[in-house]
Amino acid sequence: MAQLRFTFGTMGSGKSTQALQIHHNLRARGLDTILTTQLDRTDGRVSSRLGVSADAETVESHTDLFELVRRRMARRGSVDAVICDEVQFYAPVQCEQLARVVDELAVDVYAFGLLTSFQGELFPGTARMLELADLRTEIQVEARCWCGARATHNARFVDGEQVVSGQLKVVGDTGGPTAGEVTYDLLCRAHWLDGARKARGSQLELLDSDDARSAGDDDDHSGPVEVDPGAVPTPLRAT
């Protein structure tokens, strides 16, 4: 019986490596698989930080994954499995399409993704996968924070400073903060929260500065000035 399996972990925990391993093992047995990804480090491929990669279907915002698999089955006669990397970036409706692939086409789906974003919240795609999956597995490869504690949170840095606001989907290098570019790093909960508090505090300071600059400018002087003729003094005339 086909199943929808969702495997999640932090950056560097080996999600892409495991996806590629499953893809390789099934192909080695002569099975037909579809490998998909979105916003990988390499366009049109699933790539691992260990240097392994494979060609993949790129999932766009408009991609109908159910139709993609159904059409492939019509051309080839069968599809044995779909392996999906970077599922956190998939739209919730695309996660539902993967569930239909399992239920209506009887094809196994192996989905891999991050659990939380740089804001410390579930990705929309991840949340839907957790709700729909038959099996949910956390990768047990433990990444470490710079302090040596177990890393649990993905952090985004801009110009070397941790941020907690901005667009959800921004591709950047990993390995720690670097000035002048967007980068990502793994932190333990304590250091992620500490950085998040500082980032929110800096944002509040900017907002306070804007408020201070606008203080006293609430009166609108742009409209016409109304004058009471009776209040205008009579001009003196020289004699």
Active site residues: 86
The pLDDT, as a whole number, for residue 179 is: 58
The pLDDT, as a whole number, for residue 57 is: 86
As a whole number of Å, the end-to-end CA separation of the chain is 112
The pLDDT, as a whole number, for residue 220 is: 46
Alpha-carbon Rg for the chain, nearest whole angstrom, is 27
Two tokens at 215? 């203080």
CB atoms within 10 A of CB 188: 19
- pTM here is 0.75
138 has pLDDT over 70: yes
Span 153-201, pLDDT tens digits: 999 998 888 998 888 877 656 665 655 678 899 999 999 999 999 988 8
Span 67-108, pLDDT tens digits: 999 999 999 888 999 999 999 999 999 999 999 999 999 999
In this structure, what DSSP letter does residue 121 have? S
The pLDDT, as a whole number, for residue 87 is: 95
For 198-226, what is the mean pLDDT? 55
DSSP states of 153-203 as a string?
A: EEEEEETTEEE--S-S----EESS--TTSEEEEEE-HHHHHHHHHHHHHHH
Comparison of pLDDT for 1 and 54, the residue scoring more: 1
Enumerate domains of the chain plus CATH numbers: 1-141 (3.40.50.300), 142-213 (3.30.60)
Closest CA to 139 of 2, 17, 3, 4: 17
